[in-house]
Chains A and B, each alone.
Chain A
């Protein structure tokens, strides 16, 4: 064997040299993207991405100077660091053509003369990670998805975060769903599926599983990759409505399984696992090829490793998910997750996702405190010195509920404030006013 290796070494070295040469050549071509910018006065500036330049900029009569790395250039605008500058408003560009910096350096970017704030060295709200076209992202966006699917855990925040990312950072970003939920509305899950699948065409979605049961587990299935915390759990996706004994009929459960399978088919994980998470009499096991490590899955309980047998609906733990190829890794910290994601470090590019989640939880939490009370007051559970005052208080409660319906938006429907109900509320208020006027 050794002689064979020796014989192969010369051509291999040759190929290796060629490969290195070509790679360096290609890389240099890729970096040396020449840019030609024609300014309003007709002058032409030539340069390359990565170089540091100084821009004189005039907008609405206001003159500004920006110095920083040229990260992107199109026919209509350029990006200097985190500044988005329209070419037709640039009055001059100065900058020596320098050697482009590597990726790490490209995070050190500009400061306009108007800016005085210090940049922080960590994660939050740091636009320095703005992706340059062709570069891999250097950080992530995190959206905590907690509590009930449909009320606290909504498509709305996912949609908002994606819109924010599309607008400010462009395609190719990493979005991490931090999942901790016992499930909820399958209808809302279906909306989440549509939102995620539409955006998966331009972003990479990561599920980071802490506690993902039912609809929350199904949300994990929507992502490109799934990572568990060591105590993470995912599964038990059987549908029921209202009372726990009111399980959906089989024809619906099998339709649900088909839906989950079709979702899993768009990931690297086997669709075969869906059935045993939904129906108690569907099973799941697998074999591991001792030589290749290749996994073979079965919808029965006779494989070497049995994950689900009759009488149980599968909820995966982290290690069994990893061993069975049903997750992509285990990570308890951002740093550990970053390593799995091939990131150098854990950077949250901004805190938008966390902020909107917190805001919504606070809003809904507040409504949960006052909603029932307001309903009772509208229904007549009010105090007052006179019938007029009591009716007035009922009206106030109704008007407050209408204000809440606006705050709750699409979630109003799930909190008893659908459009129809709000319309009925308004008429009830009119009736009360009429009643008061007759006193």
Chain B
């Protein structure tokens, strides 16, 4: 008894002192993953951070295809943080900048998906979803291998159903509904996932349940599976843990190293860092350009107000100048064009028309006539 107590005490003390001597660097389990200069697999990081269709846009990614191939990455790691609401509490409270919400542009989503799943299909790809909602969730599901941050979500979208939910006639409702949702089948194909799963994320009217077949889940558009994700009234809003439990995500992670370790990578090196930086820089650039574009629009509006009496021609010229500057910025950057449309409800074709009308008015003034009526709908 004495000896056993003695041994036990020694073992416990040894164990406790061993823990005491662990240093902080051993706290994270994935710290064993090491970034090197050239050893290990080559990884290309593709950031997909921010708003879909502005920060994340095919016009930024598609031109990079050749350079991505030249970089010869063994893996592409897409890091996605693209959400509407900061968290569930913010959603409940309705806190959020609506201009920063993603919306849903099927064309943009499909171009991005085709880039990665057709043009770059020979390169192995993994997506780390830090958080996603709506359009970004749908896009994320087009990758067969998803890891998710512990507090991340995959939120469904109402963006697709807005294209048909106002239609009353049954036949045309059915027509537009299927036409609008068809692209989710292609995304499911790319993601090696069930079309029923993708559809449930985009169609509020369908139900979704699943049945485990070994470690995989067979999804069906019914309530008959082993577990029900969407009873039909709501839409799927899956936490990282639920996503993992039902086989949508491979596992929960906290850091890039966690993802790499889960992929069986102990050492790696980054390639195409210029590509990564370029994508990141795009967000900063278009947002700066948007501020300039908004200024141009508001300046045009101000000059419009000042264009009266003897100064009319002078300020009309300034107004036209600002509108032309704005038009150029919108033509150059789809992100700027989208945000201008959302915030000021102005589109490039309207601008063109407005400029044309103002030029006519200016011409009339030069010829000694009156300015005529002002172009409607503009910043007058």
Interface residues of A (CB under 8 A from B): 11, 14-15, 18-19, 22-23, 26, 29-30, 186-187, 190, 251-252, 255-256, 259, 423, 427, 430-431, 434
Partner of A255, one of B9, B13, B93: B93
| B137-179 at interface with A (beta carbon < 8 Å) | none
| Contact yes or no, A427 B89, CB < 8 A | no
A308 to B109, CA, bound (A): 53
Closest to B17 in A: A26
Closest to B305 in A: A431
Tell whether B306 is near chain A: CB-to-CB under 8 Å: yes
| B1-46 at interface with A (beta carbon < 8 Å) | 1-2, 5-6, 9-10, 13, 17, 20-21
| Contact yes or no, B10 A22, CB < 8 A | yes
- Also in contact, A14 and B6, with CB within 8 A (given A19-B13, A427-B302): yes
* B83 CB, nearest partner CB in chain A, Å: 14
| Contact yes or no, A26 B298, CB < 8 A | no
Closest to B301 in A: A427
- Also in contact, A431 and B302, with CB within 8 A (given A190-B89, A252-B93): yes
Interface residues of B (CB under 8 A from A): 1-2, 5-6, 9-10, 13, 17, 20-21, 86, 89-90, 92-93, 95, 298, 302, 305-306
| Contact yes or no, B93 A187, CB < 8 A | yes
| Contact yes or no, A259 B298, CB < 8 A | no
A322 to B99, CA, bound (A): 47
Contacts of B17 in A (CB 8 A): 22, 26, 29
| Contact yes or no, A14 B2, CB < 8 A | yes
| Contact yes or no, A186 B93, CB < 8 A | yes
A14 to B10, CA, bound (A): 12
| Contact yes or no, A26 B13, CB < 8 A | yes
Would you mind naming 15 contact pairs between A and B with Cβ atoms under 8 Å apart?
A: A14-B6, A15-B6, A18-B9, A18-B10, A22-B9, A22-B10, A22-B17, A29-B21, A30-B20, A187-B95, A190-B89, A423-B298, A427-B298, A427-B302, A434-B306
* A196 CB, nearest partner CB in chain B, Å: 15
A259 to B91, CA, bound (A): 12
Question: 9 closest A-B pairs (Cβ-Cβ)?
Answer: A255-B92, A22-B13, A26-B17, A259-B89, A18-B9, A187-B95, A11-B2, A15-B9, A434-B306
Contacts of A431 in B (CB 8 A): 302, 305
A215 to B31, CA, bound (A): 38
Contacts of B92 in A (CB 8 A): 251-252, 255-256, 259
A304 to B44, CA, bound (A): 63
Contacts of A14 in B (CB 8 A): 2, 6
A22 to B21, CA, bound (A): 14
A39 to B17, CA, bound (A): 32
Contacts of A251 in B (CB 8 A): 92
Interface centre among B1, B89, B92, B298 (most CB of A within 10 A): B89
Contacts of A423 in B (CB 8 A): 298
Contacts of A187 in B (CB 8 A): 93, 95
Closest to A187 in B: B95
* A64 CB, nearest partner CB in chain B, Å: 31
A8 to B118, CA, bound (A): 76
* A430 CB, nearest partner CB in chain B, Å: 6
Closest to A19 in B: B9
Contacts of A30 in B (CB 8 A): 20-21
Query: Can you add 16 more A-B contacts, CB < 8 Å, to A19-B13, A26-B20, A29-B21?
Result: A15-B9, A18-B13, A19-B9, A22-B13, A26-B13, A26-B17, A29-B17, A30-B21, A187-B93, A187-B95, A190-B89, A190-B93, A251-B92, A255-B89, A255-B92, A423-B298
Closest to A33 in B: B21
Closest to A18 in B: B9
Closest to B92 in A: A255
Contacts of B2 in A (CB 8 A): 11, 14
* A126 CB, nearest partner CB in chain B, Å: 26
Contacts of A256 in B (CB 8 A): 89, 92
Closest to B27 in A: A201
* B321 CB, nearest partner CB in chain A, Å: 16
A11 to B92, CA, bound (A): 61
Contacts of A22 in B (CB 8 A): 9-10, 13, 17
| Contact yes or no, B6 A18, CB < 8 A | yes
- Also in contact, A190 and B9, with CB within 8 A (given A14-B2, A26-B17): no
A102 to B167, CA, bound (A): 80
Contacts of B20 in A (CB 8 A): 26, 30
Contacts of B305 in A (CB 8 A): 431
